[in-house]
C-alpha cells in the first residue's frame, strides 16, 4: 500500500512539472513578434508602393548574437580568373642536334644533369662518334696513300725528264756530227755520198726538233700531271678534315653560364635522354637567360575572350607558397595549340611578364598560377555573397538591422556577381547594416 501511494505521488509531481513547461512555452510563443516586410519600390515584379504579407522572423537580443554585422559600402565587384602555366625564359641558347656529313641522325651518349648550373666551356652533350672514328682511320690511310702516289709520280716524271734530256743531248750531238760530214766540199765527194751526208744532216736536225718538242711537251704537262695526284691528296685531306669536324661537333660544350634544361623528344612524348637517336636540327637542350623569364599561361576559349593585353595580374608558384609577384599580360596567341604530349586538348597561350624577377629563387619549369582580377563593376553598392538570399519565388533579399531590437527583410535587385561581392543595383544604400542570411535562417528554424 505504501509503495502504491509513493508511485501515485510521483506521477502527480511529474504531471505538474510538464504542465509548467507547457505554460512557459505558451508564454514564449505569445511573446513572438511578427515583423512587417518592407518592399523596395525599385524591385521589378513587386509593384511600386505595394506591400507583401509580413514574414515572421524570430527576434533575439542583437547584442548577444554571434553573427557578423556588415556595413554596406561602395567598391569594386571583382571576379578572379585563375590560369595555370609554366615559368619559361623568353630568350635562351638552344642546343640543336648537329648536322654531320655522314649521318642524318645521332645517338646521344652523354647529357649533363638537367637543372644543373653549367659554366661556359663545360661539356654538356656528347653523341656517338664510333662510326666516324672508324671512318677516320680509313681516310687517314687514304691520305697517306695519296702522299705516296705524289712521291711516286714525281719520281716517275723526273725519270722521264732525264730520258728526254739524254735524248735531246744525243740529238744535238748527232746534228753536230752530221754537220761536219755535210760541210765537206761537194767536189771532194761523190755525188751519192754527198747527198747521203746531206740527208743524214737533215734527219739529225729533224730528230733534234722532235727531241726539243718532246722536252717542251713534258715540261708543259709536268705540273698538270703532278696536279692530278695533288688534287687526289687534297680531296682526301678535305674528307678527313670533315670527319674531324664532325667528331668535334659531336662533343658540345656550353657556350654560356646558365641552367641546363633538356629538350622535348616529340617522337617518344617525353624529355630527351641518353640513348635517344636525334635527327639533325632537333632541339636537344637549352640554356635560358634567367633575366628574361616569363610565365606562359594556358587559357580555355571560354575565358580567352575575357582577357586582353596589358591586364594586371598576380602570379604565385606551387614550389613557393608564400611568394607572389605582380605581373601583366603582354600577349595572347590567336591560335590554340596542344599543351602537352599526351593530350589532344588545345588551349590558347597568355604570355605574362613579371614586374620583378628574382633569379635566386625563380627557376625555369616552375608551375605557376596566374590570378587575373576582372572588375565587373566600379563604385557600386555591394555586399558579400553570404548577405544576399533568394526566397522561394526567386527574389533576392537582404536582412537589414533597423535598431538594437529589430531587423527586417529587404528585397533588392542585383547586378554583377563577383567572387566575394555582389552588386546591389536597387533596394539598398551605403551605410546600412546587414546580417548574414544564413544566420537569420538558422534563428528562424529554432
Q: Give residue-wise pLDDT tens across range 72-107.
A: 999 999 999 999 999 988 888 999 988 877 666 788
Q: Can you spell out the DSSP letters for 226-267? A: HHHHHHHHHHHHHHHHHHHHHHHHTEEE-SSSEE-EE-EETT
Q: State yes or no: pLDDT of 246 exceeds 80.
A: yes
- Total number of residues shown for the chain: 446
Residue with cell 542583437: 62
No. of helices (H) and no. of strands (E), the chain: 5, 25
pTM, entire model = 0.54
Lowest mean pLDDT among 326-335, 352-361, 363-372, 431-440: 431-440
Interval 322-342 mean pLDDT: 84
Can you give the pLDDT at residue 102? 67
Q: CB-based contacts of 122: which residues, under 8 Å, 6+ apart?
A: 112, 253, 254
Which residue, among 445, 348, 440, 358, has the nearest Cα to 62 in the 3D structure? 440
Q: State yes or no: pLDDT of 337 exceeds 70.
A: yes
Mean of the per-residue pLDDT values of the chain = 81
Measure the CA–CA gap between 329 and 311, rounded to whole angstroms.
5
Which residue, among 98, 410, 150, 137, has the nearest Cα to 283 in the 3D structure? 98
Q: State yes or no: pLDDT of 216 exceeds 60.
A: yes
Q: State yes or no: pLDDT of 404 exceeds 70.
A: yes
Q: State yes or no: pLDDT of 335 exceeds 60.
A: yes
Domain 33-77+376-445 adopts which CATH fold? 2.40.420
Indicate the pLDDT class of residue 342, thresholds 50, 70 and 90.
low
Measure the CA–CA gap between 353 and 295, rounded to whole angstroms.
6
Residue 181 in contact with residue 197, Cβ under 8 Å? yes
Can you give the pLDDT at residue 188? 81
Q: State yes or no: pLDDT of 444 exceeds 70.
A: no
| Distance from the Cα of residue 65 to its chain's centroid | 55
Measure the CA–CA gap between 240 and 95, rounded to whole angstroms.
25
Can you give the pLDDT at residue 40? 32
Q: Which residue has the higher pLDDT, 144 or 28?
A: 144
Measure the CA–CA gap between 382 and 364, rounded to whole angstroms.
41
Can you give the pLDDT at residue 5? 43
Interval 281-305 mean pLDDT: 89
C-alpha cell of residue 330: 603582354
Phi, psi torsion values for 250, nearest 5 degrees: -80, -5
Interval 190-199 mean pLDDT: 87
Interval 218-243 mean pLDDT: 92
Indicate the pLDDT class of residue 318, thresholds 50, 70 and 90.
very high
Q: What percentage of the chain exceeds 90 in pLDDT?
A: 51
Q: Cα–Cα distances in Å, from 97 out to 107, 111, 195, 377?
A: 10, 12, 86, 54
Q: State yes or no: pLDDT of 231 exceeds 90.
A: yes
**Domain spans in the chain, listed from the N-terminal domain onward:** 1-31, 33-77+376-445, 130-249
Indicate the pLDDT class of residue 211, thresholds 50, 70 and 90.
very high
Interval 367-394 mean pLDDT: 92
Interval 268-284 mean pLDDT: 88
Can you give the pLDDT at residue 344? 67
Measure the CA–CA gap between 361 and 215, rounded to whole angstroms.
83
Query: For residues 233-242, b (16+ Cβ closer than 10 Å) or e, as one string?
Result: beebbebbeb
Q: State yes or no: pLDDT of 21 exceeds 70.
A: no
Lowest mean pLDDT among 8-17, 125-134, 172-181, 291-300: 8-17
Interval 405-418 mean pLDDT: 90
Can you give the pLDDT at residue 22? 39
Amino acid at each position: 500500500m505504501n509503495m502504491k501511494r509513493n508511485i501515485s505521488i510521483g506521477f502527480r509531481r511529474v504531471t505538474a512539472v510538464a504542465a509548467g513547461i507547457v505554460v512557459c512555452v505558451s508564454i514564449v510563443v505569445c511573446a513572438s513578434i511578427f515583423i512587417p516586410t518592407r518592399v523596395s519600390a525599385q524591385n521589378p515584379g513587386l509593384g511600386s508602393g505595394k506591400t507583401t504579407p509580413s514574414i515572421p522572423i524570430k527576434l533575439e537580443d542583437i547584442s548577444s548574437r554571434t553573427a557578423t554585422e556588415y556595413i554596406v559600402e561602395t567598391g569594386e565587384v571583382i571576379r578572379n580568373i585563375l590560369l595555370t602555366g609554366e615559368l619559361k625564359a623568353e630568350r635562351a641558347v638552344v642546343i640543336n642536334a648537329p648536322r654531320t656529313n655522314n649521318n642524318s641522325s645521332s645517338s646521344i651518349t652523354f647529357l649533363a644533369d638537367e637543372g644543373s648550373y653549367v659554366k661556359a666551356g663545360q661539356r654538356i652533350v656528347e653523341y656517338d662518334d664510333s662510326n666516324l672514328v672508324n671512318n677516320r682511320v680509313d681516310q687517314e690511310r687514304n691520305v697517306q696513300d695519296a702522299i705516296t702516289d705524289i712521291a711516286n709520280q714525281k719520281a716517275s716524271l723526273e725519270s722521264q725528264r732525264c730520258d728526254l734530256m739524254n735524248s735531246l743531248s744525243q740529238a744535238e750531238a748527232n746534228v753536230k756530227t752530221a754537220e761536219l760530214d755535210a760541210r765537206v766540199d761537194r767536189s771532194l765527194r761523190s755525188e751519192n755520198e754527198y747527198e747521203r751526208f746531206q740527208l743524214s744532216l737533215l734527219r739529225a736536225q729533224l730528230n733534234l726538233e722532235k727531241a726539243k718538242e718532246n722536252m717542251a711537251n713534258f715540261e708543259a704537262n709536268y705540273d698538270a700531271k703532278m696536279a692530278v695526284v695533288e688534287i687526289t691528296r687534297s680531296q682526301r685531306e678535305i674528307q678527313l678534315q670533315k670527319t674531324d669536324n664532325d667528331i668535334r661537333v659531336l662533343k658540345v660544350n656550353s657556350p654560356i653560364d646558365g641552367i641546363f634544361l633538356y629538350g622535348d623528344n616529340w617522337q617518344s612524348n617525353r624529355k630527351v635522354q641518353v640513348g635517344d637517336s636525334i635527327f639533325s636540327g632537333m632541339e636537344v637542350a637549352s640554356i635560358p637567360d634567367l633575366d628574361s623569364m616569363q610565365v606562359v599561361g594556358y587559357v580555355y576559349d571560354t575565358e580567352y575572350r575575357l582577357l586582353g593585353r596589358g591586364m594586371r595580374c598576380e602570379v604565385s608558384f606551387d614550389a613557393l607558397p608564400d611568394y607572389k609577384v605582380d605581373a601583366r599580360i603582354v600577349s595572347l596567341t590567336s591560335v590554340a595549340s596542344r599543351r602537352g604530349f599526351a593530350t589532344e586538348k588545345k588551349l590558347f597561350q597568355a604570355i605574362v611578364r613579371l614586374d620583378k624577377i628574382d633569379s635566386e629563387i625563380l627557376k625555369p619549369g616552375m608551375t605557376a598560377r596566374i590570378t587575373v582580377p576582372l572588375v565587373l563593376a566600379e563604385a557600386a553598392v555591394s555586399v558579400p555573397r553570404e548577405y544576399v538570399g533568394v526566397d522561394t519565388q526567386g527574389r533576392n533579399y537582404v536582412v537589414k538591422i533597423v535598431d538594437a531590437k529589430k531587423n527586417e527583410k529587404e528585397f533588392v535587385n542585383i547586378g554583377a556577381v563577383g567572387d566575394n561581392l555582389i552588386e546591389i543595383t536597387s533596394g539598398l544604400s551605403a551605410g546600412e547594416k546587414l546580417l548574414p542570411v544564413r544566420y537569420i535562417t538558422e534563428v528562424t528554424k529554432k
